[in-house]
């Protein structure tokens, strides 16, 4: 593998690094920066929703002309929700989450010296960085950033006459996303190849930690579905700039008939959701993988139903690629297709339910170490279920009619993929911080962070279901134009207050994170008494991960509290790392 | 510049938090969680369960006045409502039970020094139970759901339906009734000219008896009248971008897509006058009018609404049309009083 004794300069070590651990850190920091922008935007538009006509100097300070007098314009409101969605879904929860933990954990947990291609890995990060920069630049263009919703349905996204954000802002959005997709494909291919080829001796696929299974399957879904979004983006660029009519037809706008003929926006919706739905699982599966690992470790118990968990991950991945039409029940798609998609969509509830039950059974009769990582993992299971159950309503075409595109949908997906995945990301950061930086994060601040975040997450998104059931559509700048929504004002204020508390609580995390990098307590090699391979590497990062030979693996990663025939713990401790050979009389699980 | 000032404040808060932690020596302590921490957090987790339960119960009661009237204003909507109630009941049971187990187990098995966790890695029987149970329950939901869906979406055999075109554009709704022959004249955006805002092709013989919706005498806004007890088929068109015709009281929604005609149908079953006397509606509007009075706005009455429910531009949030459901005789009288294209041109 890589040259151990090669002299490293600042640039090769910290900037154009090909070391997977450094790249993981780069992904994490970039993800955090983007996350701060995304969350801050949500606080601004929550202010607008709760206090539609009031003036806030913070709005004027950040939005400038679009927030003149402290009240944002409708276009700016739409831009904020659009960019908030884009940033959170793609830049934070896809690249920030998957990019960080796949890069960090795949080589460390399967026993590899680095990714299959360190160079491709580096290119992947820098393309992601470039796309982030372009997305941020798009916030500053004169006609405003993209504002057609994160789903960028044409014709709204195709015609600058329709909304000002569809001018230069939209062009930059599309360019940024095209680069992002290239980055994500390179990363995903690397993960797949690495998992398949670079496992250490004895690391059979059925001995892989569930984290790796989740990252591996996620990468496959990404490779299958992201190119379709790329094609949609390219065709949209063609329609916008070169006069083609893939998605446009029969349009009369600003007093003139446009030349487009024969295209269909519904085609775009199909292409978009062919990525868009798997994307939900690209976001949540890594979080669930992280949770599996953390819950097992801190329950001091094996994960319940390891094989069923793998089967569920695969089943979810497969089903995720054939359910995209449930986003399109009322788009004019053939009703028969609606029936098919209802069927496949509700099937997803089965593997998801299995996962939920297995997590709960893992907690049962454990000896739970409730550290911040564990709290966030349990929080994830809770929000995943709360958000997931309402999927039964949205996935059922007949019921979807009346809640489609209302705030009910917003509440549903924020809980099931937004909050859950963010919780998974926090859990991962708290758990693997010692591996990332060789230091511990402050536990007390971690607790405070969890409690404020969990309560405000529920406080924002639980009441939101009812706002949706009252019929309020999403992406409404305000609801004062409809007297029937006048009584939603109070609940909007409550949600906004929770949103602000939740947003500000993240300062605690940021403070803890950045100070712990340099000031945190020094970590020991295996701080959580875990079984997986990454805790056999030295605390200080070295190129190639293990100083000598890569250790061989003799068992799965969940031998926690395993007892011998006499009911005594093997070796007198409640964990048996994967590198420990099977003992006399011990049966491998 | 002010933005920088705000960012600076956030940074200062972050630094302050860390200094505070250092000052009080909170960075000490074991790396593995202590028994005391497990205990405190275990109790807090139980508290979080209480908070979630409380929030659920409170929201359900508080939302009672807020939600749409329980009574569906269309016959098709009754099936949706029944399916919704069944699904919601299932959801609530699952949610209450699952959350209980998560947080109760977290609390019950919070770590104690020296306690041994139970090595329990797999159970074929349990896995089967929680694969098969959801499968059976879901099969029931899927079958009833699909039956309802087909029932709503298939209206090819409707007898004597009223055909109405809804025409969406940034940021208003237009409409036209199919007239005596009950067939809409063809139309295209390429025909839009002057007062022909919907692009109707007047050379089509079906077009001349079509009735466009205009602002009625003595009214300020357009009112889309539809009859109680007769199936209404809506043909939807859009002039510019995607819109969505959303009529929550009728449990009806369909997108308007430029370049194609989409459709939906329902049979109104409650007139506007009847709905105003509905208990839920009265409670809701009493509440609303109280709020409006406090704000110094005038009182309002219940009306059915058509909202735009697909992001369509700056004024997406104010793209609406008032709908009035009449008894059939009243509706016929109203329609007869409207002018056809032939009479207008």
Q: Which residue of B has its CA nearest to A505?
A: B14
Q: Is residue A5 part of a domain?
A: no
A555 contacts A126 by C-beta, under 8 angstroms: no
Q: Is residue B21 part of a domain?
A: no
CB atoms within 10 A of CB B282: 14
Tell me what the mean pLDDT of segment B195-217 comes to: 89
Query: Residue B260: which of A188, A383, A266 has the closest Cα?
Result: A266
d(CA B28, CA B16): 18
For residues B310 and B331, membership in a common domain is answered with: yes
For residues B172 and B129, membership in a common domain is answered with: no
Asked whether the beta carbons of residue B6 and residue A302 sit closer than 8 angstroms, the reply is no
Domain that holds residue B195: 162-344
For residues B305 and B190, membership in a common domain is answered with: yes
For residues B144 and B167, membership in a common domain is answered with: no
> Higher model confidence: residue B12 or residue B302?
B302
Q: Using a CB–CB cutoff of 8 Å, tell me whether B24 touches chain A.
A: no
Smallest CA–CA distance, residue B122 to chain A, in Å, is 5
Bond into B171 cis (ω within 30):
yes
Residues of chain B positioned with their CB less than 8 A from the CB of A451: 44
Give the A:B interface size as CB pairs under 8 Å: 412
Asked whether the beta carbons of residue A491 and residue B66 sit closer than 8 angstroms, the reply is yes
Asked whether the beta carbons of residue B41 and residue A447 sit closer than 8 angstroms, the reply is yes
Q: Is residue B119 part of a domain?
A: no
pLDDT at A13: 78
pLDDT at B32 over 80: no
| Sequence-ordered alpha helix ranges (H) in A265-348 | 265-299, 306-320, 335-347
d(CA A512, CA A507): 8
Smallest CA–CA distance, residue B187 to chain A, in Å, is 11
Query: Residue A161: which of A254, A248, A247, A256 has the closest Cα?
Result: A254
For residues B278 and B315, membership in a common domain is answered with: yes
For residues B138 and B177, membership in a common domain is answered with: no
Query: Residue A436: which of A26, A121, A25 has the closest Cα?
Result: A25
- Which residue of B90, B102, B241 is in closest CB contact with A360? B102
For residues B191 and B251, membership in a common domain is answered with: yes
- Which residue of A339, A386, A445 is in closest CB contact with B150? A339
- Which residue of A57, A61, A561 is in closest CB contact with B117? A561
Smallest CA–CA distance, residue B155 to chain A, in Å, is 11
d(CA A406, CA A153): 17
pLDDT at B28: 56
CB atoms within 10 A of CB B184: 21
H/E element, B322:
strand B320-326
Asked whether the beta carbons of residue A471 and residue B38 sit closer than 8 angstroms, the reply is no
Residues of chain B positioned with their CB less than 8 A from the CB of A253: 170, 239-241
Q: Is residue B79 part of a domain?
A: yes
pLDDT at A403: 95
Task: Extract the tokens encoding A460.
Answer: 């924002």
pLDDT at B31 over 70: no
CATH of residue B333? 2.60.40.420
Q: How would you write A480-496 as a 3-class SS string? A: CCCHHHHHHHHHHHHHH
pLDDT at B26 over 70: no
Residues of chain A positioned with their CB less than 8 A from the CB of B169: 252
Classify residue A566 by burial, with Cβ atoms within 10 Å: 0-12, 13-18, 19+.
exposed
Bond into A155 cis (ω within 30):
yes
CB atoms within 10 A of CB A299: 30
Residues of chain B positioned with their CB less than 8 A from the CB of A251: 189, 239-241, 258-259
Angle between helices B2-23 and A489-519 in degrees, nearest 10: 60
Q: Which residues contact B312 (CB under 8 A, 6 or more apart)?
A: A156, A162, B168, B170, B171, B240, B241, B242, B243, B319
CB atoms within 10 A of CB A581: 12
Q: Is residue B2 part of a domain?
A: no
Asked whether the beta carbons of residue B52 and residue A385 sit closer than 8 angstroms, the reply is no
pLDDT at A3: 47
CB atoms within 10 A of CB A37: 18
pLDDT at A469: 93
Residues of chain B positioned with their CB less than 8 A from the CB of A520: 27
d(CA B7, CA A62): 10
Q: Is residue B11 part of a domain?
A: no
Asked whether the beta carbons of residue A406 and residue B309 sit closer than 8 angstroms, the reply is yes
CATH of residue A227? 1.20.210.10
Measured CA to CA in angstroms, residue A393 lies from A50, A105, A456, B80, B192 at distances of 27, 36, 24, 11, 41
Asked whether the beta carbons of residue A368 and residue B17 sit closer than 8 angstroms, the reply is no
For residues B92 and B169, membership in a common domain is answered with: no
Q: Is residue A16 part of a domain?
A: yes
Q: Using a CB–CB cutoff of 8 Å, tell me whether B45 touches chain A.
A: yes
Query: Residue B130: which of A517, A369, A355, A399 has the closest Cα?
Result: A355
d(CA B201, CA B190): 10
Classify residue A389 by burial, with Cβ atoms within 10 Å: 0-12, 13-18, 19+.
buried
d(CA A365, CA B112): 12
d(CA B163, CA B179): 8
Tell me, what DSSP letter sits at residue A205? G
Tell me what the mean pLDDT of segment B157-179 comes to: 93
pLDDT at A265: 94
Q: Using a CB–CB cutoff of 8 Å, tell me whether B3 touches chain A.
A: yes
Residues of chain A positioned with their CB less than 8 A from the CB of B33: 369-371, 374, 443
A576 contacts A589 by C-beta, under 8 angstroms: no
Structural domain total, chain A: 1
Q: Using a CB–CB cutoff of 8 Å, tell me whether B122 touches chain A.
A: yes
Residues of chain B positioned with their CB less than 8 A from the CB of A405: 244, 246, 309-310
A156 contacts A162 by C-beta, under 8 angstroms: yes
Structural domain total, chain B: 2
Asked whether the beta carbons of residue B254 and residue A332 sit closer than 8 angstroms, the reply is yes
Asked whether the beta carbons of residue A470 and residue B239 sit closer than 8 angstroms, the reply is no
State the distance between the two ends of chain A, measured CA to CA, in whole angstroms. Answer: 33
pLDDT at B302: 93
Residues of chain B positioned with their CB less than 8 A from the CB of A308: 122, 127, 131
* Lowest-confidence region among A32-36, A345-349, B65-69, B183-187: B65-69
H/E element, A101:
helix A100-110
Q: pLDDT over 70 for what percent of chain B? A: 97
Q: Is the ipTM of this complex over 0.90?
A: yes
Residues of chain A positioned with their CB less than 8 A from the CB of B308: 473
d(CA A323, CA A391): 12
Q: pLDDT over 90 for what percent of chain A? A: 83
A477 contacts A82 by C-beta, under 8 angstroms: no
Residues of chain B positioned with their CB less than 8 A from the CB of A155: 240-242, 258
Asked whether the beta carbons of residue A300 and residue B51 sit closer than 8 angstroms, the reply is no
A489 contacts B291 by C-beta, under 8 angstroms: yes
Residues of chain A positioned with their CB less than 8 A from the CB of B84: 393, 399
Asked whether the beta carbons of residue B307 and residue A473 sit closer than 8 angstroms, the reply is yes
Task: Extract the tokens encoding B21.
Answer: 């932690």
Smallest CA–CA distance, residue A122 to chain B, in Å, is 30
For residues B128 and B174, membership in a common domain is answered with: no
What pLDDT, in 10s, does the model give residues A82-110? 999 999 999 999 999 999 999 999 999 99
A375 contacts A450 by C-beta, under 8 angstroms: yes
Measured CA to CA in angstroms, residue A241 lies from A146, A158, A224, A245 at distances of 16, 9, 27, 11
A22 contacts A34 by C-beta, under 8 angstroms: no
Tell me what the mean pLDDT of segment B316-326 comes to: 94
A172 contacts A135 by C-beta, under 8 angstroms: yes
pLDDT at B345 over 80: no
A367 contacts B39 by C-beta, under 8 angstroms: no
Q: Which residue of A has its CA nearest to B3?
A: A61
Tell me what the mean pLDDT of segment B147-162 comes to: 90
Q: Using a CB–CB cutoff of 8 Å, tell me whether B329 touches chain A.
A: no
What pLDDT, in 10s, does the model give residues B218-257? 788 899 999 999 999 999 999 999 999 999 999 999 999 9
Q: What is the pTM of this model?
A: 0.95
Smallest CA–CA distance, residue B339 to chain A, in Å, is 26
CA atoms within 13 A on the CB side of A54: 11
What pLDDT, in 10s, does the model give residues A302-322? 999 999 999 999 999 999 999
Q: Is residue B146 part of a domain?
A: yes
Asked whether the beta carbons of residue A481 and residue B149 sit closer than 8 angstroms, the reply is no
For residues B104 and B185, membership in a common domain is answered with: no
pLDDT digits (tens), chain A, 589 positions: 444 556 677 777 778 889 999 999 999 999 999 999 999 999 999 999 999 888 998 888 888 888 888 899 999 999 999 999 999 999 999 999 999 999 999 999 999 999 999 999 999 999 999 999 999 999 999 999 999 999 999 999 999 999 999 999 999 999 999 999 999 999 999 999 999 999 999 999 999 999 999 999 999 999 999 999 999 999 999 999 999 999 999 999 988 999 999 999 999 999 999 999 999 999 999 999 999 999 999 999 999 999 999 999 999 999 999 999 999 999 989 999 999 999 999 999 999 999 999 999 999 999 999 999 999 999 999 999 999 999 999 999 999 999 999 999 999 999 999 999 999 999 999 999 999 999 999 888 999 999 999 999 999 999 999 999 999 999 999 988 899 999 898 899 999 999 999 999 999 999 999 999 988 888 999 999 999 999 999 999 988 999 989 999 999 999 999 888 888 888 788 899 999 998 888 888 7
For residues B141 and B178, membership in a common domain is answered with: no
Q: Is residue A276 part of a domain?
A: yes
For residues B146 and B286, membership in a common domain is answered with: no
**What percent of the residues of chain B are helix, what percent strand, and what percent coil, each to the nearest 5?**
45, 20, 35
Q: Is residue A580 part of a domain?
A: no
Asked whether the beta carbons of residue A264 and residue B257 sit closer than 8 angstroms, the reply is yes
pLDDT at A1: 42
Q: Using a CB–CB cutoff of 8 Å, tell me whether B55 touches chain A.
A: yes
Asked whether the beta carbons of residue A385 and residue B98 sit closer than 8 angstroms, the reply is yes
- Which residue of A486, A528, A563 is in closest CB contact with B288? A486
Residues of chain B positioned with their CB less than 8 A from the CB of A507: 10, 13-14, 17
Asked whether the beta carbons of residue B55 and residue A339 sit closer than 8 angstroms, the reply is no
Domain that holds residue A228: 10-249+260-572
Query: Residue A132: which of A4, A36, A24 has the closest Cα?
Result: A36
Q: Is residue A583 part of a domain?
A: no
């Amino acid at each position: 593998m890589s040259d151990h004794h090669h002299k490293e300069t600042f640039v090769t070590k910290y900037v154009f690094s090909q070391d997977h651990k450094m790249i993981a850190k780069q992904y994490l920091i970039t993800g955090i920066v983007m996350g701060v922008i995304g969350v801050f935007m949500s606080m601004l538009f929550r202010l607008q929703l709760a206090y539609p006509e009031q003036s806030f100097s913070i709005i004027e300070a950040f939005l400038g002309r679009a927030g003149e007098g402290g009240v944002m314009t409708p276009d700016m409101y739409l831009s904020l929700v659009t960019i908030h969605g884009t940033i959170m879904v793609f830049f934070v929860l896809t690249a920030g989450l998957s990019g960080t933990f796949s890069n960090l954990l795949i080589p460390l947990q399967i026993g590899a010296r680095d990714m299959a291609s360190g160079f491709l890995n580096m290119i992947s990060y820098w393309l992601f960085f470039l796309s982030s920069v372009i997305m941020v630049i798009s916030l500053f263009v004169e006609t405003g950033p993209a504002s057609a919703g994160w789903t960028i349905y044409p014709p709204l996204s195709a015609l600058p006459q329709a909304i000002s954000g569809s001018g230069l802002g939209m062009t930059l959005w599309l360019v940024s996303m095209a680069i992002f997709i290239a980055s994500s494909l390179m990363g995903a291919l690397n993960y797949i190849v690495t998992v398949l080829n670079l496992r250490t001796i004895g690391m059979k696929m059925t001995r892989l930690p569930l984290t790796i299974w989740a990252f591996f399957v996620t990468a496959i879904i990404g490779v299958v579905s992201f190119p379709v979004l790329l094609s949609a983006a390219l065709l949209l660029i063609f329609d916008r700039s070169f006069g083609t009519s893939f998605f446009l037809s029969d349009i009369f706008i600003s007093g003139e008939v446009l030349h487009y003929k024969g295209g269909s926006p519904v085609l775009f919706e199909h292409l978009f959701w062919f990525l868009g739905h798997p994307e939900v699982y690209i976001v949540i599966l890594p979080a669930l993988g992280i949770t599996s690992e953390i819950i097992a470790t801190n329950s001091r118990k094996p994960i319940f139903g390891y094989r069923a968990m793998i089967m569920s991950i695969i089943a979810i991945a497969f089903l995720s690629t054939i359910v995209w039409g449930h986003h399109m029940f009322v788009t004019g798609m053939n009703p028969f297709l609606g029936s098919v998609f209802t069927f496949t969509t509700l099937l997803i509830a089965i593997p998801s339910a299995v996962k939920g039950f297995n997590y709960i059974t893992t907690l049962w009769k454990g000896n739970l170490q409730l550290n911040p990582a564990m709290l966030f993992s349990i929080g994830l299971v809770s929000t995943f279920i709360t958000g997931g159950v309402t999927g039964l309503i949205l996935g059922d075409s007949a019921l979807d009619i009346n809640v489609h595109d209302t705030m009910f949908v917003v509440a549903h997906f924020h809980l099931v993929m937004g909050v859950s995945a963010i919780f998974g990301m926090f859990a991962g950061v708290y758990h693997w911080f010692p591996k990332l930086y060789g230091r511990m994060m402050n536990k007390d601040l971690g607790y405070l962070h969890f409690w404020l975040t969990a309560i405000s997450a529920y406080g924002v998104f639980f009441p939101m279901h009812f706002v949706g059931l009252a019929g309020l559509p999403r992406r409404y700048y305000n609801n004062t134009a409809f007297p029937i929504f006048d009584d939603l004002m109070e609940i909007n204020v409550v949600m906004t207050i929770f949103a602000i508390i939740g947003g500000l609580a993240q300062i605690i995390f940021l403070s803890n994170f950045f100070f712990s990098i340099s000031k945190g307590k020094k970590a020991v090699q295996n701080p959580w008494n875990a079984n997986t391979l990454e805790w056999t590497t030295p605390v200080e990062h070295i190129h190639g991960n293990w100083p000598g030979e890569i250790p061989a693996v003799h068992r799965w990663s969940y031998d926690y509290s395993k007892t011998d025939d006499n009911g005594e713990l093997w070796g007198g401790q409640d964990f048996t790392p994967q590198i420990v050979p099977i003992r006399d009389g011990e049966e491998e699980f | 510049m002010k933005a920088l000032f705000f960012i600076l404040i956030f940074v200062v808060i972050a630094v302050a938090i860390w200094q505070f932690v250092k000052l009080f020596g909170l960075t000490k302590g074991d790396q593995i969680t202590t028994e005391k921490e497990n205990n405190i957090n275990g109790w807090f987790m139980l508290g979080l369960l209480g908070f979630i339960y409380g929030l659920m119960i409170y929201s359900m009661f508080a939302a009672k006045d807020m939600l749409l009237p329980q009574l569906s204003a269309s016959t098709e909507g009754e099936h949706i409502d029944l399916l919704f109630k069944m699904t919601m009941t299932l959801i609530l049971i699952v949610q209450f039970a699952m959350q209980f187990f998560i947080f109760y187990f977290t609390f019950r098995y919070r770590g104690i020094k020296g306690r041994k966790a139970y090595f329990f890695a797999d159970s074929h029987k349990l896995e089967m139970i929680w694969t098969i149970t959801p499968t059976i329950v879901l099969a029931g939901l899927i079958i009833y759901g699909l039956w309802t869906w087909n029932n709503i979406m298939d209206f090819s055999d409707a007898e004597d339906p009223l055909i109405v075109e809804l025409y969406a554009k940034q940021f208003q709704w237009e409409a036209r009734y199919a007239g005596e022959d009950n067939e809409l004249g063809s139309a295209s955006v390429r025909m839009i000219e002057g007062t022909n805002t919907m692009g109707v092709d007047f050379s089509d013989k079906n077009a001349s008896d079509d009735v466009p919706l205009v602002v009625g005498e003595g009214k300020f806004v357009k009112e889309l009248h539809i009859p109680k007890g007769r199936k209404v088929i809506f043909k939807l068109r859009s002039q510019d971008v995607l819109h969505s015709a959303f009529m929550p009281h009728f449990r009806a929604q369909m997108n308007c897509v430029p370049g194609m005609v989409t459709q939906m149908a329902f049979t109104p079953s409650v007139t506007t006058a009847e709905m105003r006397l509905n208990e839920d509606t009265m409670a809701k509007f009493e509440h609303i009018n109280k709020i409006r009075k406090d704000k110094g706005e005038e009182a309002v009455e219940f009306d059915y609404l058509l909202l735009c429910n697909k992001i369509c531009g700056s004024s997406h949030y104010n793209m609406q049309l008032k709908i009035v459901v009449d008894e059939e005789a009243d509706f016929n009288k109203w329609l007869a009083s409207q002018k056809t294209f032939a009479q207008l041109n």
